[in-house]
Amino acid sequence: MKVVNTIELTVRQQYILDLVRDNGPITGEQIAESLNLTRATLRPDLAILTMAGFLDARPRVGYFYTGKTGSQLLTEKVKKITVQQYQSIPVVVDDSSSVYDAICTMFLEDVGTLFVVDKHSSLTGVLSRKDLLRASLGKQQLESMPVSIIMTRMPNITMCMKDDLIIEVANTLITKQIDALPVVRKIEKGSGYEVIGRVTKTSMTKVLVDLANDELL
């Protein structure tokens, strides 16, 4: 019975996988002998199968088949990805900025969310496209209206930290129906949190592309 997986293996790699599954633990020398190849020739294949998680290797014992399918290995891989690997540079505005200035910043930076900070560079609020659109539909003087009037304020801001798992952040984005989360670290001043990055729906797309291209070994 062939192993069903989402990673495309070569004929030789599939043969090695079946051999180890049926005869493990088995040494590299025994695998090479079975294929009538040198150990050096097999080394790249064994490295790929081990790094991908299909095989496990123990010194002086040999190779073991992990018993995991490609989808299981993919799930494990996703659950190890942290925010730090995919966070991008945040776009911030001062809490004394006007709504007009915030609209200009959002347009020029081509982002959907702005993070508002105080004089200590600590997070005080978040501005979304909807917030700015709602303000611009009224008859208010946008040049004189401070962003603090329309922003979502602390402590009603959903945040994450660089060591959080990306899958948890993705669930938060979906559950709360928001476009981005600020990545923060604790500080002593202001609100107690400094913005050091952002994670967006675009970040999640990049995770998906990297997984498809097998760039998350």
pLDDT (tens digit per residue) in 72-104: 666 777 888 999 999 999 999 999 999 999 999
Q: Which CATH class is domain 83-209?
A: alpha beta
**Percent of the chain clearing pLDDT 70 (strictly above):** 91
- Kindly tell me if the per-residue pLDDT of 194 is higher than 80: yes
Q: Is the pTM of this model over 0.85?
A: no
Report pLDDT digits (tens) over 59-74: 878 888 887 666 666 6
Bridge partners (DSSP) listed for residue 117: 94, 123
Minimal CA–CA distance to 101: which of 140, 142, 131, 151? Answer: 142
Instruction: Tell me the three state secondary structure of residue 98.
Output: strand
Q: CA 60 to CA 77: how far, in whole Å?
A: 27
- Domain regions of the chain by residue span: 11-73, 83-209
The pLDDT value given to residue 214: 63
Token pair, residue 73, equals: 């290995």
Rounded to an integer, the average pLDDT of 165-180 is 93
The region of weakest confidence among 65-69, 134-138, 142-146 is: 65-69
The domain 11-73 having CATH identifier 1.10.10.10: the answer here is: yes
Q: Tell me, what amino acid is at 2?
A: K
